[in-house]
Structure 1
Amino acid sequence: MTDRKGEIAANLARVEQRIAAACAAAGRPREDVTLIVVTKTYPASDVRILSELGVRHVAENRDQEAAPKAAECVDLPLVWHFVGQLQTNKVRSVAGYADVVQSVDRVRLVTALSKEAVRTGRELGCLLQVALDAGESGRGERGGVAPGGVEELAGAVAAAPGLRLDGLMTVAPLTGEYAGRQPAAFARLVDLSTDLRRAHPAATMVSAGMSADLEEAVAAGATHVRVGTAVLGVRPGLG
């Protein structure tokens, strides 16, 4: 355990340096950017170590793994983000532990999340997942609403009881005009965020960037970066 804590601490320090350098290069204060550590496939013991090291935001993408892990770590002062594609039949479980759902991409999901938030008396933060590979209509191959659908979906979240519209999220697309062009993809997301804030001034979160491209995300204006491998190492079974 001690070795693992040292390993995570060293990795965390390196990621922290990268974020600080990216902020300095972009002329932004370091506190502008929040690190979310993606803990999917890693054990609850790692989440506990992260909390001991001062991490406050963690993310999961599969409910069947996240629910028991969140329950095991219920005593920790953490903000849990759900970042995976979310089926409506998993909403009741996810709404029980997630503080923020970053993958809201359709009105049916908004309705289901609202129902559970009201039922449990919780307020759920919501980010609209934008699919930059979807053109102006339709959905992306990894979920998400097309840029042209953001305004309507944002209105649905803002009007839904128990939900709070926090902003936008994207995953750098693998196909389409933004494939391999992270700076352009993240800049597009920030432009969409600027448009969104005209109608919803409190929706200031821009979640973009992961281990390999967090610098590009910070340069574009991301407020939250989602980093897993660079902090916790190569995922079990993947190397």
Structure 2
Amino acid sequence: MSRAEQLKENYEQVLEELKEACVQARRNPEEVKLVAVSKKHSSKDIEFLAQLGQKDFGENYVQEVLAKQEELKNLSLNWHFIGALQTNKAKYVAGKFSLIHSVDRVKLARELDKQAKKKGVIQEILIQVNLGKEEQKAGVEEEGLFSLVEEVLKLKQLKLKGLMTLPPCWCGEKVRPLFARLRELKEAIEKRFALSLPHLSMGMTQDFKEAISEGATLVRIGTRIFGPRI
């Protein structure tokens, strides 16, 4: 089987499983968007998936994705930054992504706001929440979430669109309470600050079905589509 045939088969299988998960959760499949995680995979693979109709791609590494954006600038794609973001890299990402999923501290938010202002753009963001309290993972812990939201809402060039989480590597139902908790936190923020947050970015290859059942609107799937990273 050629690379193109394998990609097509994998992609169509993932779309079918997403649809089935939505049906099981009694949700409209239109409410859930697939973000194809293309880090460490080629621009050629991305271009092929774009031809199949995939428009949203997730990347973790600033230099890598900027090179891909240049190579694929003639395609109409939505780029998502989903990796941990150093404050000194904010100038490279502000205005270059449809959505930044990984804002987790005031200093980073302020720098993104500053850089977005320089470029004359409004940057849409998600706040990443570390619900598993894992030291090695980025994300604001639950106790600091509301104060971070309060500060982000003061920044005129940033538009808060929801929350993201990257839970511990538990399989299946064990991780479901964390997804439920992220949804509860989103609803609490909406109530407290009188705003609407359309997105919950949660769920990956191993747990997207549980995430969809708890309200995910963005699921980040890489290996199931592209195969192992190079």
Please give the range of the TM-score, normalised by the shorter of the 2 chains: over 0.9
Q: Deviations over 1:158-211 (max 9, x none)?
A: 221211101000001259xx9982111111111111112222533220000001
CA distance in 2: counterparts of 1:35 and 1:170, whole angstroms: 16
Partner residue, 2:204: 210
Q: CA 1:154/1:179 → structure 2, altered by over 3 Å: closer, same or farther?
A: farther
- State the identity %: 36
List alignment gaps of at least 5 residues for structure 1. none
Which structure 2 residues correspond to residues 30-45 of structure 1 after superposition, within 5 A? 30-45=29-44
For 2:95 and 2:189, locate their aligned partners in 1 and report how far apart those are by CA, in whole Å: 28
Q: Which runs of 4+ in 1 moved over 3 A?
A: none
- 1:192: which partner in 2? 185
Q: What SS does the aligned partner of 1:122 have?
A: coil
Distance of aligned partners of 1:83 and 1:184 in 2 relative to their CA distance in 1, 3 Å threshold: same
Q: C-alpha distance in 2, partners of 1:23/1:148?
A: 31
RMSD of Structure 2 on Structure 1 (CA):
1.9
Q: Which residues in structure 2 correspond to 1:65-214 (within 5 Å)?
A: 65-134=64-133, 140-174=135-169, 181-198=174-191, 199-214=193-208
Paired residue secondary structure (1:75)? coil
Deviation at 1:42, TM superposition (A): 0.2
Partner AA of 1:61 in structure 2: N
1:223 partner letter: T
Q: Is the 8 A contact 2:39 2:61 kept in 1?
A: yes
The structure-2 alpha-carbon separation of the partners of 1:200 and 1:11, relative to structure 1 and needing over 3 Å to count, comes to farther
| C-alpha contact (below 8 Å) 2:173/2:210 kept by paired residues | no
Paired position in structure 1 for 2:2 = 3
Q: Does 1:223 align with 2:222?
A: no
What is the CA deviation profile of residues 30-85 of structure 1, one whole-angstrom value per residue up to 9, with x for unaligned ones? 11100000000001111111111111110101112111111111221111110111
Equivalent AA in structure 1 for residue 112 of structure 2: L
Contact 2:79 2:97 (8 Å CA) reproduced: yes
> Which 5+ residue runs of structure 2 have no aligned equivalent?
none
Q: Does structure 1 residue 29 correspond to structure 2 residue 24?
A: no
Aligned length: 229
Residue 224 of structure 1 aligns to which amino acid in structure 2? L
8 Å CA contact 1:20–1:30 kept in 2: the answer is yes
- Give, in whole Å, the separation in 1 of the partners of 2:196 and 2:151: 15
1:91-119 residue CA offsets vs partner (Å, 9 max, x unmatched): 11112422211000000000100011111
Q: TM-score, normalised by structure 1?
A: 0.90
